[in-house]
Chain A
């Protein structure tokens, strides 16, 4: 089936540093999402993105977070500066359309902030 790729698979950084998580969505998809999952807990929505804009974000999407997809390249999540509580697995997803359409998830980036 359609595949979403995420780079890197793991990232360890010191608190206060900047990190960029990269997502390569399914090629013809138009809607992009980031979710956060802390070990053993449920996945939580962060943000979705369409046509170059953030369409919806949750309270977890702090001011230190930003997303972009310059010129159809990677869809990125940037955290600057990072905090200890940002340690989690971040999943990217994409869908062709919204409104009940299937979201395809990547394998996740495991972020550890020390």
Chain B
């Protein structure tokens, strides 16, 4: 899982497998954003889950949110090579804050 001072984590899977990445956050948030970052590019939002949602789906992506344990997960079903990227969770931080607080990220490599 990712957060805080942890170094970038790495996961390597075969094409067609399912994968789940976890994220825990320290402060209350009303939304968890999941971004992917391809090599040499900026982060791109892939799914966003709000505090009143326990699960959110978008295509092969599924995000969950457990506000009681302050954790979220991102699952990818039947991963493809083009899913290879770094995946970050991000929260809104303290109430009234404008910033996104990013986790340390998970480098996902999907091998053919």
A contact residues vs B (CB 8 Å cutoff): 4, 31, 33, 35, 40-45, 48, 55-56, 58, 91, 93, 98-100, 102-108
Contacts and interface: CB of A to CB of B under 8 A. Distances in A.
Contacts of B48: 100, 102
A38 to B, nearest CB: 11
Interface stretch (B14-22, B60-68, B69-77, B95-103): B95-103
Contacts of A100: 30-31, 48, 50, 92
Nearest to B35: A105
Given A56-B97, A100-B30, A100-B31, A44 B42 contact: no
Nearest to A91: B42
Given A43-B43, A107-B41, A107-B42, A48 B8 contact: no
B88 interface: yes
Contacts, number: 60
Chain B contact residues: helix, strand, loop or mixed? loop
Contacts of B7: 40-41
Contacts of A104: 45
A31 B97 CA distance: 13
A33 B88 contact: no
